[in-house]
Chain A
Amino acid sequence: MRGNDVILENLSMRFGDFVAVQPTDLKINAGEFFSILGPSGCGKTTILRMISGFLSPSQGRVIIGDKDMSGIRANARPTALIFQNLALFPLMSVRDNIAFGLEARGIGKKARQDKAQELLSLVALDGHGDKLPTALSGGQRQRVAIARALAVEPSVLLLDEPLSALDLKLRQHMRAELKELQRKTGVTFIYITHDQGEALTMSDRVAVMNKGVVEQVANSDEIYANPATPFVASFVGEQNVFKGKVVAKENGYAILETPLGKMLGQNTQGLNQGDDAILFVRPERLSLQEKPGQQNSLSATLERRDLEGPFVNLHMRAGEHPIAIHITNVDQTHQSLGTEQKLWFAAQDAVVMRPGELASE
């Protein structure tokens, strides 16, 4: 099995007046684990269905391995789709499920069975071949769906939130398995999710989508550390958000006038004095330190303390402004509620951006 690259050229989809996917250009590399991350209804599934051939785009085209897919129907494309609900055939045995794609290609019974056996081992389901899918656990069914898709040796595997039906533990376990399978097979994975944890942990690269627009394509670290838009900044991970006006800028940094006082952050978008702006600071970048005389110092009262185990979430309030802080569960974690605390963050940990839509989560 070998992956192919997938190129989306000016691809867009319109349902009546509603544009589900704005014109998009994207190149997904051969053998890459590529995720599309976005909130519900942003057009992820629509993109996937255009790649798999179930939807013909209103505009633009899909190219898989140098081949234009326009006019090629779903059952003739080198893609295989894994559905959110898996869509296993409940009346067929696990083995027949896996061999279905080969059966559809007119491959003989013996060869089918052999291939099915091979795939059963690949997904660690030896001995379960004669069961019905309903007799398997959620994780096992998941693996059957993957084996069934891999049986037809696709060069691109499309996965539409395949883990969303599983419980948390299993989901985390399956992440590792999926990543391992992808590495073993070398097939291009296009993985759709609204779960940033999945996207960040498994992917080589992530595309963050909002309202039919791909806002940023980068690897996980880049997405997390250097979000390109306010939406990406607020959708991936948590953020403390401060709104204000730029009062000064100097060598890559901007000073914002906010209701909580002056704040300094990286001016990645090159804002000018007088511009409205938003400043983002991640909760783990805030520290309970007093740095007298320094910029970016705040004082807030502790309202709630949530112990997560390895780290602690502190919910504080500075005037009317809620502030979230994550600290590791190492020391100084027993703050008493209602006490006023001094906070501080470094200027290089804060990003100043032009105002834009924020994720509503």
Chain B
Amino acid sequence: MNSLIKSYGKGLTALFVGLTVVWIAALIVLPQISMVDRAFTYEDRGGAAATLSLEIDRAYQEVFQISTSLDDLRAEKEALSSGGSAASQQESVSALDPFATPAPTPSQGVNMLDPFAAPSASGSSNRTAAQIEADEAPLIAKKSELEAKIVTLEAKEKASTDTVGLDTSYSLKNFTEMSSVHLQVFLSTMIYALCVTVMAFALCYPVAYAVATATSKNKIAILMLGLLIPYAINELLRIFAWVMILEKNGVLNAVLDMFGIIDLQVGEGFRFVASNGAVFTVMVYAYVLFMVFPIYNTIDTLDKNQIEAAKDLGASTFRIHWRVVLPHAKPGIAVGAIMTFMLSAGSIAVPEIVGRGLHPDWFSQVIYRRFFEADSWNQGAAYSLTLLLACVVFILFNMAVFRVGIRDIAK
């Protein structure tokens, strides 16, 4: 702090500190707090209450339908008793009806107006009053039965809103109520992310080693360019490029076709997309740079004489790496692993685009759906907090395994 003041003066230092505090508060702490708050707030909206209100709505709808049918029957009955006047009345009804056919029969007109009318109402026009009453009786019975049901349901609903309702108390329910499907997705996502990390490491270590130990300056420049250029391209484009390659009628199948391994003409061809392999491949490609650079940086600081000294003392290539290069590169590997793991565990674009919904879900997709499709922000927050915790655990685990401190990682 004092050194800051010394080198930048009081005003500028105050500005720095102020901006930093604002940044930390507004963009890191506040959103996190609200996220945590949501995660621990349990809102009972999906369960019993919702089912109840749905049932009540349905009952009301049915009651409405029945009463409409009853009205129709009653009208028919009146027409029968008042004779000829019924014809003109029915005509006026059909005139009102925009869907009326050019030569409507009276009953057809009624039918068009009321699609829910009981089938008996569409019978011949010369029905007797007794017949109509026979139709009426079961409907009336059903209606009263429904009305009784509504009363009990509403009572029940009232009771439940008083006790559970929109219970916004703090609880762990958002976490503990994770369904077994979601839990499975979470666990498999962790394993997938671990796989991606391991694959990225297996790919990056040799590359980083080769670049770091290359003697010719040109070679280093070319290798660096080769690594960097793909990352100048937008991530989505990079992912879509892979879709182009892996599509059923994509580049890879075309190449296989060219070599006569498959015949696209007769519809042969592998469906590479939407498989674990495809998602892994694209994800490794998408995040490989975050693994390469930390490892490259640490190996680059290794005194190359140590490699030669080990070789001179008779060490095999494996032993040179195991005893000299890897121990030195440990902080870089830890950083690379942490970054790759966190990025791939939280990746949503790759599983969404390459996975096509056919590949088993990534946990990030579940979180997205909780938020925006199931409209359950609290559960979404709880899930993302779970993911965050898993990543923190991974970081700590990494630091323990590689025996590196925060300080080494910061380097």
Contacts and interface: CB of A to CB of B under 8 A. Distances in A.
B313 A100 contact: yes
B310 interface: yes
B342 to A, nearest CB: 27
A89 B328 CA distance: 10
Interface in A131-151: 148-149, 151
Given A75-B313, A75-B314, A76-B314, A104 B319 contact: yes
A79 B314 CA distance: 10
Contact of A89 (B308, B312, B316, B323): B323
Contacts of A75: 311-316
A85 B303 contact: yes
Contacts of B306: 87-89
B206 interface: no
B77 to A, nearest CB: 101
Main SS of chain B's interface residues?
Answer: helix
**What's the interface size class on A, roughly?**
20 to 34
A147 to B, nearest CB: 12
A233 B215 CA distance: 37
A83 B311 contact: no
Main SS at interface, chain A: mixed
Interface string A150-170: 011000000000000000000
A278 interface: no
A87 B323 CA distance: 14
B305 interface: yes
A89 B315 CA distance: 13
A148 B314 contact: no
Contact of A101 (B305, B314, B316, B327): B314
A330 interface: no
A310 to B, nearest CB: 38
A16 to B, nearest CB: 12
Interface string A87-108: 1110110000000110111000
Which bucket holds chain B's interface residue count? 10 to 19
Contacts, number: 61
Contact of A100 (B305, B315, B327): B315
B314 A87 contact: no
A81 B311 CA distance: 10
Contact of A152 (B311, B313, B323, B324): B313
Contacts of B312: 52, 54, 74-75, 79-81
A76 B315 CA distance: 9
B358 interface: no
B309 interface: yes
A83 B327 CA distance: 21
A292 to B, nearest CB: 61
A313 to B, nearest CB: 38
18 contacts: A54-B308, A75-B311, A81-B309, A81-B312, A83-B308, A83-B309, A87-B306, A87-B309, A91-B327, A91-B328, A92-B323, A100-B313, A100-B323, A103-B323, A104-B310, A104-B313, A148-B313, A149-B313
Report, nearest first, the 6 A-B pairs whose CB atoms are least far apart.
A87-B305, A101-B313, A104-B315, A87-B309, A104-B314, A75-B314
Given A91-B327, A100-B315, A101-B314, 19 more contacts: A52-B312, A54-B308, A54-B311, A74-B308, A75-B311, A75-B315, A83-B305, A87-B309, A89-B309, A89-B323, A91-B328, A92-B323, A100-B310, A101-B315, A103-B319, A103-B323, A104-B313, A104-B316, A152-B314
Interface of B: 303, 305-306, 308-316, 319, 323-324, 327-328
